[in-house]
Structure 1
Amino acid sequence: MRITSFVARLGLLASAALLAQGAQAASQLVAFGDSLVDNGNTVDYLDVTFPASPYYQGRFSNGPVAVEYMAQQLGLSLDDRAVGGAYTGNGNRLAETNPTRLSLIASTGTRQQISAYISEKGGAVDSQALYYIWAGGNDFFTNPTGATVASAVGNLAADVSALYAAGARNFFIPNLPDLATTAPSLQRDATYQAGARQLTLAFNSYLNNAMNGLETQLVGLDVQVYDAYSFLTTLRNGYAARGFNVTTPCLVTGATPSLCSNPSQYYLWDNVHPTAGVHQAIGTAMATAAMPVPEPEQWALTFTGLAVVGFMRRRQQRQAA
């Protein structure tokens, strides 16, 4: 019994080593970006509850956002610097739509978040951290043209380069979800939706090329561009197949506001932001994607442990027979 118990524990420990690999590979998760990443920072800048209930604790959704789920799955501490409305470069869309109080966040673009972070760290950031940047949607909401593709991707490349110069080496950058699936786009005609989708695809293609180029130029740089577009498209199609609502938001704001009673059966929380269920699904998928490939010796440990367990079980079965 003692041998069997020991071998079983060996197998479990060997398997767990693979899952723990992601947590061991990075010291922490540091996040920048817009409302898809913001875990309550907009509230801190404005010193008021915004977005207010029924939004969840300052998130632009009804629960935690994807990067929070990702950090939890990886077992990493999260340092989230993202601010809702942020552009890829300087500036914040929210500040422009309501300049009275929201001007307090005018200097919270993704580039400004990163500059402030580097300055706070004295010019040298944690080289073992995983740096997460998810932004771009606000650039297109303000200027939905082809010119924005190049400028937004150029901004993200500059963002990565700035962090690299300060010591960062490992990056996780999700691409853009389909802009044609936001509520405002869905209220337009097919031509508009096709244009929004084409802009998304162009941005994502440029992003891949830009990050590949940076990896060639900057020694030791590792950038993982995560395909959020494909994951969310598949997830949304799955929601639709199950009869969930993928066209109108759970929370309707404006002159006649309303709130659905079953947000878990909605893809959109508000006009442009996904529900917590969507955030959880993609955050979990991101964590899986961020797991490094185990070294050969780790695979050997795992398979050895599992093989020994299998051998002992077969031996016990033969003895019982």
Structure 2
Amino acid sequence: MDKVCCLVAALSVQTAAADYSDMFFFGDSLSDSGTYLPFLLSTNPNYAGEGKFTTSPGNVWAENIAERDGFNASPVNQGGNNYAQGGARIQGEGYSFTTAMSLVDQVDTYLGSVNGEADHNALYSLWAGGNDFLWMLEGNVAAADVPAYLGGMVANNMGAITRLEGAGAQYILLPSIPDITNTPTASSLSAEQIAQISTLTKSYNQQLFTQAAASGV
């Protein structure tokens, strides 16, 4: 049976790792293990960091789970299976980094590299959406259009999931978006705005998991 797992459940099942043939990661800075490192080194040969947004130095979660089970979560442009890029949105140009490849494009790039035949026994992680909310916070979405915007986020994420499934993917890890009202970007928001964003984040997560369940994956 095809499966979509939540993050906590997937990480708690230690014995499941033996069933995976490989691991692939798609998303934003929360999973990016250093995609921009080559660029940083080209602009500053003395750069001593790891090119990560959330932990530098140190592993992101994708590296921890992959290394634990003997897989490679290095960036795909450095020989690994990690397509995630800091600043990526689910669909469309990146947030802050306009060249960041969206989650949808990351998945399509992977499928193109394998001629549309995904590794049936690999674990695929899709984790994005936070930057879509930050983009919305900057006033790029009118208040009246917010419900449709959320619906589009869900539809695009589901589209990536179903394309993976259609290509043969069996195990899909689908973490929920964390509450971005705890981020530095949200520190300047009013209490009313914070409450609204928190509600919208929960609504997005609920819609995504409801549609994932209804789709049969």
In structure 1, how many angstroms separate the alpha carbons of the residues matched to 2:208 and 2:191? 26
Describe the superposition over 1:293-321 as per-residue Cα deviations: whole angstroms up to 9, x where unpaired: xxxxxxxxxxxxxxxxxxxxxxxxxxxxx
* Matching of residue 65 in structure 1 with residue 60 in structure 2: yes
Name the amino acid aligned to 1:189: S
Which is richer in helix? 1
Q: When the two structures are superposed, what TM-score results if normalisation uses the length of structure 2?
A: 0.77
5+ unaligned residues in a row in structure 2: which ranges?
1-11, 74-80, 138-145
Equivalent position of 2:84 in the other structure: 82
Q: Work out which of the two has the higher radius of gyration on C-alpha atoms and give 1 or 2.
A: 1
The residue correspondences of 1:131-210 to structure 2 (distance < 5 A) are 131-144=124-137, 145-210=146-211
Which of 5, 27, 43 is residue 37 of structure 2 equivalent to? 43
Q: Could you say what secondary structure the match of 2:116 adopts?
A: coil
1:199 and 1:19, CA in 2 relative to 1: closer, same or farther beyond 3 A? closer
Deviates more, 1:75-84 or 1:29-38: 75-84
TM-score with structure 1 setting the length:
0.54
CA contact (8 A) 2:40 2:51 kept: no
Local SS of the residue matching 1:80? coil
Mean CA deviation greater in 146-155 or 161-170: 146-155
Give, in whole Å, the separation in 1 of the partners of 2:154 and 2:21.
27
Identity among equivalent positions (%) equals 29
CA shift digits 1:241-297 (9 cap, x unpaired) = xxxxxxxxxxxxxxxxxxxxxxxxxxxxxxxxxxxxxxxxxxxxxxxxxxxxxxxxx
Question: Map of 1:216-231 to 2, 5 A cutoff?
Answer: 221=217
Larger RCO: Structure 1 or Structure 2 (Cα < 8 Å, ≥ 6 residues apart)? 2
Superposition CA RMSD, Å: 2.5
How many residues are paired up? 188
Shift of 1:150: 1.1
List alignment gaps of at least 5 residues for structure 1: 1-17, 97-104, 216-220, 222-321
Shift in alpha-carbon separation, 1:72–1:180, aligned structure 2, 3 A:
same
Please give the per-residue CA displacement for 1:100-159, whole angstroms capped at 9, x wherever unaligned: xxxxx35x1111111111111111110100000100011111124333321111111000
Once residues 65 and 88 of structure 1 are traced to their aligned partners in structure 2, the CA distance between those partners, rounded to angstroms, is: 20
